[in-house]
Amino acid sequence: MMLQAAGRRLTGYVLLYISWFLKSCLFLYLPVYHIKVTGGSSGIGKCIAIECYKQGAFITLVARNEERLLQAKKEIEKHCINDKQVVLCISVDVSQDYSQVENVIKQAQEKLGPVDMLVNCAGMSISGKFEDLEVSTFEKLMSINYLGSVYPSRAVITTMKERRVGRIVFLASQAGQVGLFGFTAYSSSKFAIKGLAEALQMEVKPYNVYVTVAYPPDTDTPGFAEENKTKPLETRLISETTSICTPEQVAKQIVKDAIQGNFNSSVGSDGYMLSSLTCGMSPVTSITEGLQQVVTMGLFRMISLFYLGSFDNIIRRCMIERAKYGTADKTA
């Protein structure tokens, strides 16, 4: 009796593994698909658009500044692989008015067909100590980083579910996996993305729609350069404990993970460690990924304690230096 039950359970696991394996083979084949990238006129978003265009996709770029949109369009078009490919530009603020976002997405779908992959890349970071940040900064970051991802996703999801195909990519950040000094406003807006993505994935998985959350490390983009201008010294020193990636490197990984329907997308060994460490109850794409998380969790937690200790030291050292030299306790 017990042997039979164990056999049945084993067969169940094998079938589950086979279905996972088959699913991972059902990649979204990119050529002639319509990819919409919000924040596609700069940095990571622009590189994602180029990466998809190189694979034959039709692109809709969304951002506010029309001039930068047109510049990005020209740059992307250099990577064309066939003369049917189109880059469409839409100027809209994705964080303000849902009906406006819905309208422009409708217009883009009328021109290029239904959106197969939406990449929510529009976003920004403002850092500073909690008490130094304006209250309006918390509202602004929540609006751009969180609502600016909710609105476009909400506008495409019904069609994706009806067609039973689609990918939605959210750009979180490593600061959306671990709360860091100076990022009280930014980290919370990126943590919100993870909750949104996990809940949405559970709803849309039966419709063959897959959600990917990307957790890029510091990446050399115009947005990052802007953020660095006001970063507190502590935040900058903590940042310097890891290396900076290129937007091309990050974009390549995100596109690959999105095509494969992977829930987590991270770059480098730090990224892999953080994603395993903070996976919680997030979905897994394969049994192998789940097993890796189970096996590595304890070890990674131990390594993370060393990191946290070194961050505490950085913060303490900054306080001592400031007390010694009487530097203003605001930014570097």
Ligand X SMILES: NC(=O)c1ccc[n+]([C@@H]2O[C@H](COP(=O)([O-])OP(=O)(O)OC[C@H]3O[C@@H](n4cnc5c(N)ncnc54)[C@H](OP(=O)(O)O)[C@@H]3O)[C@@H](O)[C@H]2O)c1
Residues 148-177 that bind ligand X (CB under 6 A): 148, 171, 173
260 to 299: interface string for ligand X, x by CB under 6 A = ----------------------------------------
| Residue with smaller CB distance to ligand X, 47 or 165 | 47
**Site map for ligand X, 174-213, x if CB under 6 A?**
----------------------------------------
Look at residues 151, 45, 48, 166 and name the one whose alpha carbon lies nearest to residue 102.
151
Q: Which of 40, 99, 120 is nearest to 72 (CA)?
A: 40
Q: Give the up-direction half-sphere exposure of residue 239: CA atoms within 13 A in the CB hemisphere.
A: 22
Which residue type does 136 have? S
CB of 224 to ligand X, least distance (A): 4
Whole-Å CA distances, 314 to 80, 163, 181, 187, 227: 47, 51, 10, 19, 20
223 binding ligand X? (CB under 6 A): yes
Q: Does 219 bind ligand X (CB under 6 A)?
A: yes
DSSP state of 60: E
In angstroms, the CA 119 to CA 252 distance is 13
Taking the C-alpha atoms of residue 15 and residue 233, their distance in angstroms, rounded to an integer, is 53
- DSSP state letters, 308-328: HHHHHHHHHHHHHHHHHHT--
Choose which of 30, 35, 45, 200 interacts with ligand X (CB under 6 A): 45
User: Which span sits near ligand X by CB under 6 A: 107-115, 116-124, 154-162, 279-287?
Assistant: 116-124
> Which one of 44, 50, 156, 168 is in contact with ligand X (CB under 6 A)?
44
Least Å distance, CB 250 to ligand X, is: 8
Does the protein bind ligand X through residue 49 (CB under 6 A)? no
Closer residue to ligand X (CB): 182 or 223: 223
Minimum gap (Å) between residue 218 Cβ and ligand X:
4
H or E segment at 74?
Answer: helix 66-77
> What's the min distance (Å) between Cβ of 279 and ligand X?
18
Considering only residues 63 to 82 of the shown chain, the ones binding ligand X according to CB under 6 A are 63-65, 68
Cα torsion 277, 279, 285, 290: sign: positive
* Complete DSSP assignment for 88-133: EEEE--TTT-HHHHHHHHHHHHHHH-S-SEEEE---------TTTS
Choices 12-20, 77-85, 214-222, 313-321; region in contact with ligand X by CB under 6 A: 214-222
d(CA 113, CA 107): 10
- Measured from the CB atom, the residue of 96 and 159 that comes closer to ligand X is 96
- Near ligand X by CB under 6 A, which window of 28-36, 58-66, 282-290, 323-331? 58-66
Q: Are 261 and 208 in contact (CB under 8 A)?
A: no
Q: Compare residues 166 and 247 and give the one whose CB is closer to ligand X.
A: 247
Q: Contact positions toward ligand X, by CB under 6 A?
A: 38-39, 41-45, 62-65, 68, 93-95, 121-125, 144-145, 148, 171, 173, 216, 218-219, 221-224
